[in-house]
């Protein structure tokens, strides 16, 4: 990955999560030195500050179980516009969350921008959860469990953008890696729609390279753009405690860095979400620092430079 013009965008939202605190995530990344660390790698870095949600007033017919639906719709519309605008220039956006509901806006915006230039968008979803519930199937009503279903064009999300999503990501262009918690209705939807899912057992059996190489080769063969959405709970909570949805048995320190190093070597990644960091639950900032280190691995930081094979 050549030197990049990186744009940092803060998304201080926790309306989609079950616990408060993710809205402090953007400032935690800033305090942990994300911009400085990327600059030291030779990249140009600009911080645009924090975005705000658009004001949205729905008609009141929505299921009352759905928490903060108007606010999530406002964030989705704002971030969709932000992503589309950023794609007018040759920049690499990093969206500093904020809970995972933000991806409904960022990914849909990048998908629309990819459509404008006639290239497919692929999504690598690094997460303990598949986030493939619809507004009807969600059991908790927490909307950070729904963005991938919206992005893939499942029905019922018209309130998010005020209309049906025009340019969905084909489900077969999505790979969920590291998942270890899926609701029964989600499982059925994932199978029905053909989403790629690699749980931790597959990682144990096949290894990160055996799973990631084929996906990256498919992105390259299609001349695709690749959006990566990294949830803190992709990581094992022993090394990353600052998340409100901990699930034991996540990616190890080395597995996570290997993913990011392979993504860097591929040169295919064009945008990144960093989501679900809850500084209120952190241990003296160690999760924020780890997420900064992982981001640096994506942008070329390595212990020992050596030739790498192209995929």
Which parts of 204-268 are beta strand (E)?
225-231
Catalytic annotation on 5? no
Q: Which of 69, 43, 102 is nearest to 227 (CA)?
A: 102
Which of 14, 71, 99, 127 is labelled catalytic? 127
Which of 43, 110, 144, 257 is labelled catalytic? 144
- For 106-154, give the DSSP string: HHHHHHHHHHHTT--EEEEEE-SB-----TTT-SS--GGGSHHHHHTT-
Catalytic annotation on 276? yes
> What is the torsional sign of CA 236, 238, 242, 248?
positive
Contact 263, 225 (CB under 8 A): no
Catalytic annotation on 205? no
- The CA distances from residue 170 to 46, 121, 149, 302, in Å, are 32, 9, 11, 33
Which of 71, 99, 175, 233 is labelled catalytic? 233
Which of 14, 71, 131, 273 is labelled catalytic? 131
Which of 43, 100, 110, 257 is labelled catalytic? 100
Catalytic annotation on 36? no
Which of 99, 255, 276, 282 is labelled catalytic? 276
Catalytic annotation on 89? no
DSSP, collapsed to helix, strand or coil, labels residue 172 as helix
Which of 43, 129, 227, 264 is labelled catalytic? 129
Tell me the C-alpha distance between 197 and 180, whole Å: 10
Residue 263 region by backbone torsions, left for phi larger than 0, else alpha for psi between -120 and 50, else beta: alpha
Catalytic annotation on 129? yes
Q: Which of 106, 85, 225, 108 is nearest to 164 (CA)?
A: 108
Residues with catalytic roles: 100, 127, 129, 131, 144, 231, 233, 276
């Amino acid at each position: 990955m050549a030197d990049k013009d990186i744009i940092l965008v803060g998304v201080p939202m926790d309306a989609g999560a079950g616990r408060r605190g993710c809205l402090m995530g953007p400032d935690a990344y800033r305090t942990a030195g994300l911009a400085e660390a990327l600059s030291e790698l030779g990249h140009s870095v600009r911080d645009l500050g924090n975005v705000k949600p658009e004001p949205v007033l729905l008609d009141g017919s929505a299921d009352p179980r759905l928490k903060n639906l108007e606010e999530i719709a406002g964030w989705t519309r704002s971030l969709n516009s932000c992503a589309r605008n950023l794609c007018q220039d040759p920049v690499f956006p990093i969206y500093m969350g904020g809970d995972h509901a933000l991806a409904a806006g960022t990914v849909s915006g990048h998908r629309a921008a990819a459509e404008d230039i006639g290239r497919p968008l692929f999504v690598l979803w690094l997460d303990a959860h598949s986030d493939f519930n619809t507004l009807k199937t969600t059991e908790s009503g927490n909307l950070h469990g729904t963005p991938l279903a919206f992005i893939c064009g499942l029905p019922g999300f018209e309130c998010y953008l005020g209309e049906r999503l025009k340019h969905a990501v084909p489900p077969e262009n999505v790979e969920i890696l590291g998942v270890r918690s899926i609701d029964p209705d989600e499982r059925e939807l994932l199978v029905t729609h053909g989403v790629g899912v690699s749980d931790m057992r597959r990682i144990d059996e096949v290894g990160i390279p055996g799973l990631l190489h084929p996906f990256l080769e498919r992105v390259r063969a299609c001349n695709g753009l690749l959006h990566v959405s990294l949830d803190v709970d992709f990581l094992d909570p022993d090394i990353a405690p600052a998340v409100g949805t901990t699930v034991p048995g996540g990616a190890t320190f080395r597995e996570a860095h290997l993913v990011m190093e392979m993504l860097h070597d591929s040169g295919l990644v064009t945008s990144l979400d960093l989501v679900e960091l809850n500084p209120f639950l952190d241990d003296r900032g160690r999760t924020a620092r780890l997420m900064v280190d992982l981001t640096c691995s994506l942008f070329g930081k390595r212990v020992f430079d050596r030739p790498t094979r192209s995929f």
